Structure 1
């Protein structure tokens, strides 16, 4: 029997120990090359409020998203840009929206920050990941002002190129490349959210044809954005749930949020929010639920029931995708990020609108309630319920107070994120999504693209706050339609279009109830200067003099 000399034995042990230590270092930071690169699933909801999900305090049944939260991390100070087009542009590029021409919507306002389409020099994360060896798929809403996502990094696309006009008409949805085969649905059985789930699962199957390549799937729902459309069986599940009214629902949600640790125990419920009706400059305040006539309460309870049904059905389709991952042993090494593109939508008053986005409102009662949500209807949920969806914050989509820019955030990756069920309250922003995906994929952001020098990413990887890594204090910026904000440390400046800055100490007053602007004018001045510098550098200013939309009242001169 051959023996190893003691000195050689020690050397052998030392080498093995060093190798083991180096392997541990590799896995403790943000390098995970020892395993196959992760698949990436990015899920975005449309007009989902901060507290709508069960895991964020809501009463809507969302067991699949709740399970991701239970095994992952919830981000409770995760910010968006306040509107769908700008947010989706930011999610795709990692840039603030004005920087890529999407400071408003898809109408060209003839200013660099407001071109109405993703700028030619912009790079999408799909393009970068594709170059890094990933398969890339998109099932859902594009809405970036261009006609073909497959020209911006996606191999396959199914969904809506614009904001959804209906969930019931198969012809409203597009398959690209156009030569691809499509599903055939029996008459009366097409529902847009289910179709997005169908094609998402199709795309996962395609990705498995090349097992040596990881995949990136962007599952971009257009639910629960209006029109309020949902299958009848789903609506009936919630038909009685909202007769309690928005005041009671807000109180109940906040109580659950405190118990879960989503908000601090001392958080105060903001008063019922203001709203601005179509084309009006003067604000009104959402009424108390009990002050409304009984027939109006019945109509509004059914609207919120349909909204809840849409969220429920979205969660069911997320569940179908998760099942596909589990059945193929992919869930553990798939990075999943979920968020919403903005806060809940108030358009335009407490009663909501019908037929089209406008002042139109129809009061439904009695047997008419059963027709709501069907193929021949078009409703919105209104400002009262949007206020409840954004519990406990002020305001809604369009605005830069917390109700407009705070989203639920979930990050799930069991192979790397071990802090199951953790709540992370460090401020983060959707500008951080692209850096996060590239970090996980071990793909560098290119220094040049098509021969041009690229714009540095303003965000940082979400793994920094998730892993409690040291980081410098951040400054986050916001603007939409003249509404604006800046967040730095404990301070936040918020302002309505044409209005003065309001100053809030977010560490103790995230509901933005106590304006400290007069008490701390030096803080206002300092943050205003930073916002102005950012706004000039990112083509936010000058503000458009005409947004070319009827619902926005002209500013008083």
Structure 2
């Protein structure tokens, strides 16, 4: 009798344990990445563009106020997906060592799906790639790879599961932002049908609002005259809203009329006509033709962000219909700040075609880019705050008790991989495959999902196209290419307006030494692995 009772108690205990939250399915993970979207483009970060779906995710989740990227598209994607600084994995250049958009990762620099797959996850990719290697080779089960980044209105050049698409000659009705969401939704539906018992990781990388400024006519129409008051007024309005939201304790940065695009294409400026201007001078100094041209470009940018939000809403609706939204840890961020670039690529620019149509090639430029990056200085490619600051919205009802709150800890895309592994309870085995891999530089943000705590770390580090920076605590040392260091106290000066380097030279020297030490460390790693890769290639030829 006693033995029978003990057996029954043990069985009940086992069943209760099996039903406990600790034994539940690991969370689904969705990471949504925008391209060239500024810090204040989303409504809940100060913008006037209609982004109700992202705003709703923030209202029911968290907003990080000091989250950073790498200031450029491909380094950010490498850092996000590997958990390492792009320079550590050959995906951004180091002095005299190369690396960058054509760099090849080391074998130990695995992507997120490769860590998740042994734990039952299926992984999906929809949108831009811009990482070395094929998508499916990196652990993804399905992919829609948008390689055509010069025309939003055709599927030509894109791939499905690493196979080039065959596009009909009479192709109509295509728009890449919608197609990216369509593929994501298709993957989610298929997952529900065939793999409902497994968790999933979905990386959705929209190209919007990257140039060329291409948008649907009905979306452009909503914003056509919205920006005729100019970038000065837009910056002031966005900053006022940011203050009301309690996002930032800073001043508004000053416009820098002397700072134009990061790369000069003077012939493109001429071809674009008299309405183009490549400096963010005060709005009242522009001609009427320039005002209309610039306001139209901003209207198209806004239309692209608006449409992206609409498509994100469709993805969220699909998660909700599956009963998976509450169980899904969802992130939204941008790969760099808004872009000051002005160029003409791909099919060229027809000045007589409707702005925003496939025959046009327009870029936002430094005036409205400055406004999209409100309240910060500079743009994409620079490592001042305007180039590296991004919204981070995190939504996860099952894992986040707080709703609509802010998180102030400084954090970076290198933190996403350790955060995902932490919340998914994934331990990386210590075996032969991990011996050569250095320690991850990022930190798990899991604690910040629970409370507004500061994640302790030594520093965050940047280098891109000669622009360099380091942040330790609230101190930031930063320099544009070929320019001297500047020192800022970001506790009250995220706008980087008051350079303290002459008042605090010792603080600057300490940060510079720290920046150089990390440069040396990353260079040593890159040189070692480059030498090893070269040796393997030589041996393979023998």
CA contact (8 A) 1:50 1:391 kept: yes
Q: In terms of mean alpha carbon deviation, does 194-203 or 437-446 score higher?
A: 437-446
Counterparts of 1:415 and 1:300 in 2: how far apart (Å)? 44
Counterparts of 1:407 and 1:94 in 2: how far apart (Å)? 17
2:504 to 492, 508, 520: 520
- Answering whether residue 409 of structure 2 is matched by residue 422 of structure 1, we say no
2:303 to 309, 314, 318: 309
1:485 maps to: 469
CA contact (8 A) 1:333 1:414 kept: yes
2:190 maps to: 206
Following superposition, the deviation at residue 296 of structure 1 comes to 1.3
Counterparts of 2:227 and 2:135 in 1: how far apart (Å)? 39
1:62 maps to: 51
Alpha-carbon spacing, 1:384–1:446, altered in 2? closer, same or farther (3 Å): farther
Counterparts of 1:42 and 1:523 in 2: how far apart (Å)? 37
Following superposition, the deviation at residue 355 of structure 1 comes to 4.8
TM-score (ref. length: structure 1)? 0.84
Alpha-carbon spacing, 1:93–1:409, altered in 2? closer, same or farther (3 Å): same
2:145 maps to: 159
Long gaps (5+) in structure 1: 1-11, 27-31, 544-557
2:178 to 183, 194, 204: 194
Q: In terms of mean alpha carbon deviation, does 436-445 or 452-461 score higher?
A: 452-461
2:232 to 226, 237, 247: 247
Counterparts of 2:300 and 2:185 in 1: how far apart (Å)? 25
Greater percentage in helix: 2
Q: In terms of mean alpha carbon deviation, does 442-451 or 67-76 score higher?
A: 442-451
Q: Secondary structure at the match of 2:317?
A: helix
Alpha-carbon spacing, 1:113–1:138, altered in 2? closer, same or farther (3 Å): closer
Q: Secondary structure at the match of 1:33?
A: helix
1:72 maps to: 61
CA contact (8 A) 1:41 1:335 kept: yes
2:436 maps to: 453
Counterparts of 1:177 and 1:355 in 2: how far apart (Å)? 25
Following superposition, the deviation at residue 460 of structure 1 comes to 1.1
1:505 maps to: 489
- Answering whether residue 76 of structure 2 is matched by residue 90 of structure 1, we say no
Structure-to-structure mapping, 1:431-446, within 5 angstroms: 431-446=414-429
2:313 maps to: 319
Counterparts of 1:269 and 1:451 in 2: how far apart (Å)? 45
Following superposition, the deviation at residue 462 of structure 1 comes to 1.5
CA contact (8 A) 1:53 1:62 kept: yes
Structure-to-structure mapping, 1:82-481, within 5 angstroms: 82-104=71-93, 111=98, 116-146=103-133, 148-161=134-147, 164-178=149-163, 187-208=171-192, 209-264=194-249, 267-272=251-256, 274-277=258-261, 286-347=280-341, 352-355=342-345, 368=352, 371-448=354-431, 450=433, 452-468=435-451, 471-481=455-465
1:533 to 509, 517, 521: 517
RMSD: 3.0
Deviation digits for residues 462-491 of structure 1 (CA, Å, limit 9, x no counterpart): 122232357435411111011010001121
Q: Secondary structure at the match of 1:433?
A: helix
CA contact (8 A) 1:483 1:495 kept: yes
Counterparts of 1:185 and 1:217 in 2: how far apart (Å)? 31
CA contact (8 A) 1:303 1:381 kept: yes
CA contact (8 A) 2:252 2:374 kept: no
Deviation digits for residues 365-407 of structure 1 (CA, Å, limit 9, x no counterpart): xxx5x71111111111111111010001000100110000100
CA contact (8 A) 1:139 1:218 kept: yes
CA contact (8 A) 1:535 1:541 kept: no
Alpha-carbon spacing, 1:466–1:271, altered in 2? closer, same or farther (3 Å): same
TM-score (ref. length: structure 2)? 0.86
CA contact (8 A) 1:99 1:113 kept: no
| Number of positions where the alignment pairs a residue of Structure 1 with one of Structure 2 | 501
Counterparts of 1:449 and 1:86 in 2: how far apart (Å)? 27
Alpha-carbon spacing, 1:470–1:212, altered in 2? closer, same or farther (3 Å): same
CA contact (8 A) 1:486 1:494 kept: yes
Q: Secondary structure at the match of 1:204?
A: helix
Q: Secondary structure at the match of 2:22?
A: coil
CA contact (8 A) 1:273 1:395 kept: no
CA contact (8 A) 1:201 1:324 kept: yes
Counterparts of 2:264 and 2:214 in 1: how far apart (Å)? 28
